[in-house]
Structure 1
Amino acid sequence: MSVGSYQKQSSSSGLITLQANAQQASNFAKFAALMPKAIKAAERRAINKTIRWLRTHIARSVSQQERIAVTAVRQRLRAFPVASNGQGKLWFGLNPIEASRAGRPRQSRSGVSVAGRSYQGAFFRTVYGSKPDIWIRTASKHFNPDDYPTSEVSARGGASSGWVGENSSRFPLAKAKISLEEVRPHFESWTRKAHQRLLVVMEQELNFELLKYLRRLGNG
């Protein structure tokens, strides 16, 4: 019959024997039966927490690397919680981002500056929609297609025949944007870091499930 842990002493030594008593052994058996459910719950929380952690760190990293306000980068990141297939996802929109969102645009006689970038010949004004953006006339001698990605310029009438890609109507203006192509090489590194973080959080969540069960027994 199991009597649990006990100690025994003699004149020359002491011996401690650790052993679960019958009630404890029964409780462990019950927890083992609950393990699949507990593990699933721990896994779901761990993935969701890691996705949020990854979103925060990617936003900071891209913000620093590309000199873009972190709030603007966060808007390009969308977290999807764990689905029935056990997968959580983090979506990152990599289309060029409006330069006006990189920081606080400042208009001067020569053009517009924002977040350490200068757009000579450009102006900060509301053209389409309700919010101002940084625009340039495509006929301007300062127009550089690299600073205005995705704003397609028609070759039919020379540089003065511009097409605003977002509007699809002919208008000799292009919107200043910032390419996010330079962040692509970092995806492998981010994935590796996220997996390492997931292992740490998973261990924490499994410990939480065990402690939760043990507290329930103590209150029972």
Structure 2
Amino acid sequence: MSGLLKVELDTHQFFDLLHALPPSAMQAAWRRTLRKTSTWVKAQVAKTVAQDTRVPQKVLRQRLYFFLHSRDSGKVWLGLNPLQAHRLGKSRQTRRGVSVGRHRFAGAWTMAQRAPTGPVFQRTGKARYPITEVKLDWDDPGEAAFRKVAAQVEARLLVVLRQEVNYELHKALGRIGRHGTR
């Protein structure tokens, strides 16, 4: 990744919405909000990158992780290392090389006898050796998609937080309605 991408949000405005709820309900709503927002971020990044690079979303989602750092902060991690060609789909040997999913690699081959679903190789020079494993670079579209989605995170966080606060309020009102008191 060319530069560190860090999104910081002012959480005071979010916690002001949760003032009427007990602390445990506030915490539960905030944790669910972080988890659901991270799931949304992962889906949006995978969708955007898949459109740009023709890489299956399933493969990209394996490169996206969410970590809950503390009670009120989380982190979405995106691995931008090149993708191994054989992970893009089923590889097929053709006369001109190897076709994997929607990608074509001229002059490449697989070791069909030893590992039919294994790596795709290509010569790096004119001699018999050296050979390298074929990989697909996707760091530029991946970083661009991540930045695009990061710009929309705060708005999405507010939408999900409202839903979660509403859920906690209804849950609390249901308890009050049934028992007359808390």
Q: Same fold (TM over 0.5)?
A: yes
Unaligned runs of 5+ in 1: 1-30, 141-159, 162-170
Pick aligned residue for 2:103 from 117, 125, 145:
117
- 1:176 maps onto 2:134 in alignment: yes
1:128-178 residue CA offsets vs partner (Å, 9 max, x unmatched): 9895111012234xxxxxxxxxxxxxxxxxxx49xxxxxxxxx62111111
Other-structure match for 1:88: 74
Normalised TM-score (structure 2): 0.77
Q: Kindly report which structure 2 residues correspond to 1:22-171, keeping only aligned pairs within 5 A, or say none.
A: 32=20, 34-80=21-67, 82-125=68-111, 131-140=117-126, 160=127
Could you give the per-residue CA deviations for residues 22-76 of structure 1, whole angstroms, max 9, x where no partner exists? xxxxxxxxx94x4333222211110111101211221122122111121111111
Identity of aligned residues (%): 37
1:129 and 1:90 mapped to 2: Cα distance?
A: 34
Mapped contact 1:124–1:132 kept (Cα < 8 A): yes
Asked if the contact 1:137–1:172 (Cα under 8 Å) also holds between the matched residues in 2, the reply is yes
Structure 1 consecutive aligned stretches of length 4 or more whose deviation exceeds 6 Å: 126-130
Question: Aligned partner of 1:89: which letter?
Answer: K
CA contact (8 A) 1:126 1:133 kept: no
Aligned residue pairs: how many? 160
CA contact (8 A) 2:84 2:134 kept: yes
1:191 paired to 2:150: yes
Distance 1:71 1:200, change over 3 A: same
Sort the Cα spacing of 1:123 and 1:177 in 2 relative to 1 into closer, same or farther, 3 A: same
Q: How much is the aligned-residue C-alpha RMSD, in angstroms?
A: 2.4
With normalisation by structure 1, the TM-score equals 0.65
State the SS of the aligned residue for 2:98: strand
- Once residues 168 and 44 of structure 2 are traced to their aligned partners in structure 1, the CA distance between those partners, rounded to angstroms, is 27
Q: Aligned partners of 1:128 and 1:48: how far apart in 2?
A: 42
Contact kept? 1:67, 1:102, Cα under 8 Å? no
